[in-house]
Chain A
Amino acid sequence: MAGTAGRRGAGAASLDAAAALAVEDLSLSIAGSRILDGVSFTVAKGGVTALIGRNGAGKTTTLRSVIGLEHATGSVRVAGVEVAGWPTFRRIRFGIGYVPEDRDVFSHLTVKENLQLAESGTNPRYDLVYQIFPELAQRSQQAAGTLSGGQQQMLAIARVLLNDKGLLLIDEPSKGLSPRFVGEMVEALEKVRGEATVVLVEQNIHVVKRLAGELVILDQGRVAHAGPVEDLDDPELVRRLLGVSTGT
Chain B
Amino acid sequence: MSTLIAILISGIALGAIYFLVASGLSLIYGLMDILNFAHGAFLTIGAYAGLELSLHLVNGGGLLGFLGLLVVAAAAGAVVAAVAEVLLIRPLYGRPVSQILITVGLDLVVVGLLLGVFGSDSRQIAVPVWLTGATHVGSLSIPNGDFVGLAAGVLVYVGLGLFLKHTRFGLVIRAGAENRDMVQALGIDVSKAFTFVFGLGGAAAGLAGLLYAVVFSGSLVGPTQGDQLLIFAFIVVVIGGLGSIRGSAIAGIVVGLVQVVSQFYLGSKSGWAEAGDISVVILLALVLSLRPSGLAGARER
Contact = CB atoms under 8 A, between A and B. Distances in A.
Direct contact of A and B (CB under 8 A): yes
A113 B171 CA distance: 7
Contacts of B168: 116
A109 B182 CA distance: 13
Contacts of B182: 100, 104, 106
Interface residues of B, number: 18
Interface stretch (A6-14, A86-94, A202-210): A86-94
A69 B184 contact: yes
A74 B186 CA distance: 23
Given A104-B179, A106-B175, A117-B172, A87 B185 contact: no
Contact of B171 (A67, A90, A116, A159): A116
B184 A117 contact: no
A238 interface: no
A88 B184 contact: yes
Interface string A70-81: 000000000000
Contacts of B185: 67, 69, 88, 92, 98, 100
A172 to B, nearest CB: 15
A120 B174 contact: no
B274 interface: no
Interface in A121-143: none
Interface string A140-183: 00000000000000000001000100000000000000000000
A92 B174 contact: no
Contacts of A120: 186-188
Interface residues of A, number: 22
Contacts of A113: 171, 175
A92 B187 CA distance: 5
B178 A106 contact: yes
A98 B185 CA distance: 6
A107 interface: yes
Nearest to B187: A92
A127 to B, nearest CB: 20
A89 B179 contact: no
Interface of A: 67, 69, 87-90, 92-93, 98, 100, 104, 106-109, 113, 116-118, 120, 159, 163
Interface of B: 168, 171-172, 174-175, 178-179, 181-191
Closest 3 CB pairs of A and B: A92-B187, A88-B184, A93-B187
Given A87-B191, A88-B185, A92-B184, 16 more contacts: A69-B184, A69-B185, A87-B189, A89-B187, A90-B189, A92-B186, A104-B179, A106-B174, A108-B174, A108-B178, A109-B171, A116-B168, A116-B171, A117-B171, A117-B183, A118-B187
11 contacts: A88-B185, A89-B189, A104-B182, A108-B174, A109-B174, A117-B171, A117-B172, A117-B183, A117-B186, A118-B187, A159-B186
